[in-house]
Amino acid sequence: MVQLTRIYTRGGDKGKTSLASGRRVPKHDLRVTAYGTVDEANAVLGLLLAEDGLAESERNLLVRVQNDLFDLGADLATPEDPEPEYPALRITEAQVAWLEQQIDHYNADLEPLKTFVLPGGTKASAWLHLARTVVRRAERDATELAEAEPLNPEAVKYVNRLSDLLFVLGRYLNEKGRNDVLWVPGKNR
Protein backbone atom coordinates (compact mmCIF):
# COMPACT_ATOMS: atom_id res chain seq x y z
CA MET A 1 0.00 0.00 0.00
CA VAL A 2 1.24 3.48 -0.83
CA GLN A 3 1.84 5.83 2.08
CA LEU A 4 2.56 9.47 1.36
CA THR A 5 3.73 11.38 4.39
CA ARG A 6 5.44 14.18 2.52
CA ILE A 7 3.92 15.64 -0.65
CA TYR A 8 6.82 17.67 -1.94
CA THR A 9 10.24 16.08 -2.36
CA ARG A 10 12.07 18.69 -4.43
CA GLY A 11 13.18 15.75 -6.61
CA GLY A 12 11.52 17.22 -9.69
CA ASP A 13 12.83 20.75 -9.34
CA LYS A 14 15.30 20.23 -12.18
CA GLY A 15 12.75 18.83 -14.63
CA LYS A 16 13.20 15.13 -13.89
CA THR A 17 11.00 12.57 -12.18
CA SER A 18 11.31 8.96 -11.10
CA LEU A 19 9.51 6.09 -12.76
CA ALA A 20 8.25 3.21 -10.62
CA SER A 21 11.51 1.38 -11.40
CA GLY A 22 13.49 4.24 -9.84
CA ARG A 23 14.92 5.34 -13.19
CA ARG A 24 15.07 9.14 -13.49
CA VAL A 25 13.65 10.61 -16.70
CA PRO A 26 12.70 14.07 -17.98
CA LYS A 27 9.17 15.12 -17.04
CA HIS A 28 8.36 15.25 -20.75
CA ASP A 29 9.44 11.60 -21.27
CA LEU A 30 6.96 9.59 -23.39
CA ARG A 31 6.17 7.35 -20.42
CA VAL A 32 5.44 10.32 -18.13
CA THR A 33 3.30 11.92 -20.84
CA ALA A 34 1.29 8.71 -21.24
CA TYR A 35 0.51 8.21 -17.57
CA GLY A 36 -0.06 11.94 -17.13
CA THR A 37 -2.76 11.84 -19.79
CA VAL A 38 -4.35 8.85 -18.06
CA ASP A 39 -4.38 10.90 -14.85
CA GLU A 40 -6.08 13.74 -16.72
CA ALA A 41 -8.80 11.39 -17.99
CA ASN A 42 -9.32 10.18 -14.43
CA ALA A 43 -9.79 13.78 -13.27
CA VAL A 44 -12.46 14.37 -15.92
CA LEU A 45 -14.32 11.29 -14.68
CA GLY A 46 -14.01 12.72 -11.16
CA LEU A 47 -15.81 15.86 -12.31
CA LEU A 48 -18.64 13.74 -13.70
CA LEU A 49 -18.83 11.75 -10.48
CA ALA A 50 -19.12 15.01 -8.52
CA GLU A 51 -22.38 15.74 -10.34
CA ASP A 52 -25.77 14.78 -8.92
CA GLY A 53 -28.19 12.51 -10.72
CA LEU A 54 -25.91 9.72 -11.88
CA ALA A 55 -27.50 6.29 -11.29
CA GLU A 56 -25.73 4.05 -8.79
CA SER A 57 -24.91 1.44 -11.44
CA GLU A 58 -23.13 3.98 -13.67
CA ARG A 59 -21.50 5.64 -10.66
CA ASN A 60 -20.11 2.25 -9.53
CA LEU A 61 -18.91 1.51 -13.07
CA LEU A 62 -17.06 4.83 -13.29
CA VAL A 63 -15.50 4.45 -9.83
CA ARG A 64 -14.21 1.04 -10.93
CA VAL A 65 -12.83 2.62 -14.12
CA GLN A 66 -11.12 5.31 -12.03
CA ASN A 67 -9.42 2.64 -9.95
CA ASP A 68 -8.37 0.78 -13.10
CA LEU A 69 -6.97 4.03 -14.48
CA PHE A 70 -4.64 4.17 -11.47
CA ASP A 71 -3.62 0.58 -12.30
CA LEU A 72 -3.02 1.72 -15.88
CA GLY A 73 -0.95 4.67 -14.68
CA ALA A 74 1.14 2.32 -12.53
CA ASP A 75 1.58 0.00 -15.50
CA LEU A 76 2.72 2.85 -17.74
CA ALA A 77 5.03 4.20 -15.00
CA THR A 78 6.83 0.86 -14.70
CA PRO A 79 9.19 0.01 -17.56
CA GLU A 80 9.21 -3.65 -18.59
CA ASP A 81 12.97 -3.74 -18.89
CA PRO A 82 14.44 -4.02 -16.40
CA GLU A 83 11.51 -5.37 -14.42
CA PRO A 84 11.52 -4.01 -10.84
CA GLU A 85 12.44 -6.18 -7.87
CA TYR A 86 8.78 -6.42 -6.83
CA PRO A 87 5.96 -7.59 -9.13
CA ALA A 88 4.80 -4.75 -11.37
CA LEU A 89 1.12 -3.82 -11.43
CA ARG A 90 -0.03 -4.53 -14.99
CA ILE A 91 -3.36 -4.17 -16.76
CA THR A 92 -4.75 -7.64 -17.37
CA GLU A 93 -6.75 -9.32 -20.08
CA ALA A 94 -9.60 -9.65 -17.54
CA GLN A 95 -9.77 -5.86 -17.11
CA VAL A 96 -10.05 -5.44 -20.89
CA ALA A 97 -12.71 -8.17 -21.08
CA TRP A 98 -14.73 -6.42 -18.34
CA LEU A 99 -14.74 -3.22 -20.44
CA GLU A 100 -15.99 -5.21 -23.44
CA GLN A 101 -18.80 -6.68 -21.32
CA GLN A 102 -19.83 -3.19 -20.22
CA ILE A 103 -19.76 -1.89 -23.79
CA ASP A 104 -21.99 -4.76 -24.94
CA HIS A 105 -24.37 -4.25 -22.01
CA TYR A 106 -24.91 -0.52 -22.57
CA ASN A 107 -24.83 -0.69 -26.36
CA ALA A 108 -27.63 -3.29 -26.39
CA ASP A 109 -30.17 -0.56 -25.49
CA LEU A 110 -29.02 1.90 -28.17
CA GLU A 111 -30.28 2.35 -31.70
CA PRO A 112 -27.55 1.96 -34.33
CA LEU A 113 -25.99 5.23 -35.44
CA LYS A 114 -26.49 6.58 -38.94
CA THR A 115 -24.17 9.55 -38.44
CA PHE A 116 -21.57 10.78 -35.96
CA VAL A 117 -22.57 12.12 -32.54
CA LEU A 118 -21.50 15.59 -31.47
CA PRO A 119 -20.46 15.97 -27.82
CA GLY A 120 -23.40 17.25 -25.82
CA GLY A 121 -26.92 16.43 -24.84
CA THR A 122 -26.99 15.87 -21.10
CA LYS A 123 -24.26 17.25 -18.86
CA ALA A 124 -23.18 13.72 -17.95
CA SER A 125 -22.89 12.80 -21.61
CA ALA A 126 -20.82 15.91 -22.33
CA TRP A 127 -18.41 15.00 -19.49
CA LEU A 128 -18.11 11.47 -20.87
CA HIS A 129 -17.32 12.80 -24.35
CA LEU A 130 -14.60 15.00 -22.85
CA ALA A 131 -13.19 12.03 -20.92
CA ARG A 132 -13.33 9.97 -24.15
CA THR A 133 -11.23 12.52 -26.03
CA VAL A 134 -8.64 12.58 -23.24
CA VAL A 135 -8.54 8.76 -23.24
CA ARG A 136 -8.01 8.85 -27.03
CA ARG A 137 -5.02 11.13 -26.43
CA ALA A 138 -3.76 8.69 -23.78
CA GLU A 139 -4.05 5.96 -26.40
CA ARG A 140 -1.99 8.00 -28.87
CA ASP A 141 0.59 8.61 -26.13
CA ALA A 142 0.70 4.92 -25.21
CA THR A 143 1.08 3.75 -28.80
CA GLU A 144 3.89 6.24 -29.35
CA LEU A 145 5.57 4.91 -26.20
CA ALA A 146 5.07 1.32 -27.41
CA GLU A 147 7.00 2.16 -30.58
CA ALA A 148 9.92 3.44 -28.50
CA GLU A 149 10.16 0.74 -25.81
CA PRO A 150 8.41 -2.42 -24.59
CA LEU A 151 4.91 -1.86 -23.22
CA ASN A 152 2.25 -4.19 -21.87
CA PRO A 153 -0.07 -4.75 -24.87
CA GLU A 154 -3.07 -5.03 -22.53
CA ALA A 155 -2.48 -1.40 -21.52
CA VAL A 156 -3.01 -0.26 -25.10
CA LYS A 157 -6.06 -2.48 -25.46
CA TYR A 158 -7.46 -1.07 -22.22
CA VAL A 159 -7.35 2.57 -23.35
CA ASN A 160 -8.80 1.61 -26.73
CA ARG A 161 -11.77 -0.18 -25.15
CA LEU A 162 -12.22 2.49 -22.50
CA SER A 163 -12.74 5.21 -25.11
CA ASP A 164 -15.38 2.97 -26.72
CA LEU A 165 -17.10 2.44 -23.37
CA LEU A 166 -17.14 6.16 -22.62
CA PHE A 167 -18.70 6.83 -26.04
CA VAL A 168 -21.39 4.18 -25.55
CA LEU A 169 -22.06 5.28 -21.98
CA GLY A 170 -22.30 8.90 -23.16
CA ARG A 171 -25.01 7.88 -25.60
CA TYR A 172 -26.73 5.78 -22.93
CA LEU A 173 -26.83 8.75 -20.53
CA ASN A 174 -28.35 10.84 -23.33
CA GLU A 175 -31.61 9.02 -22.62
CA LYS A 176 -30.40 5.93 -24.46
CA GLY A 177 -29.43 8.01 -27.47
CA ARG A 178 -32.67 9.99 -27.74
CA ASN A 179 -30.87 13.21 -26.74
CA ASP A 180 -27.81 12.60 -28.90
CA VAL A 181 -26.69 15.66 -30.84
CA LEU A 182 -26.18 14.35 -34.35
CA TRP A 183 -23.75 15.67 -36.91
CA VAL A 184 -25.40 16.88 -40.08
CA PRO A 185 -22.72 16.78 -42.79
CA GLY A 186 -22.49 20.04 -44.75
CA LYS A 187 -25.36 21.62 -42.82
CA ASN A 188 -23.84 25.10 -42.81
CA ARG A 189 -22.44 25.34 -46.35
Average pLDDT per consecutive 10 residues, the chain (189 residues; last block may be shorter):
66 72 80 96 98 95 98 93 76 98 97 92 96 98 96 97 98 93 92
What are the sequence ranges of the domains in the chain?
35-80+91-174
Predicted local confidence at residue 141, as pLDDT = 98
Q: So what's the pLDDT on residue 7? A: 67
Say what the pTM is: 0.91
Long-range contact set of residues 104-113: C-beta below 8 Å, sequence gap at least 24: 106/165, 106/168, 106/169, 106/171, 106/172, 107/168, 109/172, 109/176, 110/168, 110/171, 110/172, 110/176, 110/177, 111/177
Residue type, 83: E
Question: Topology of domain 35-80+91-174, per CATH?
Answer: Hypothetical Protein Ta1238; Chain: A; (1.20.1200)
- Distance, CA of 185 to chain centre: 29
* Angstrom distance (rounded) from CA 72 to CA 76: 6
**pLDDT the model gives residue 87:** 82
Biggest distance spanned by C-alpha atoms of the chain = 61
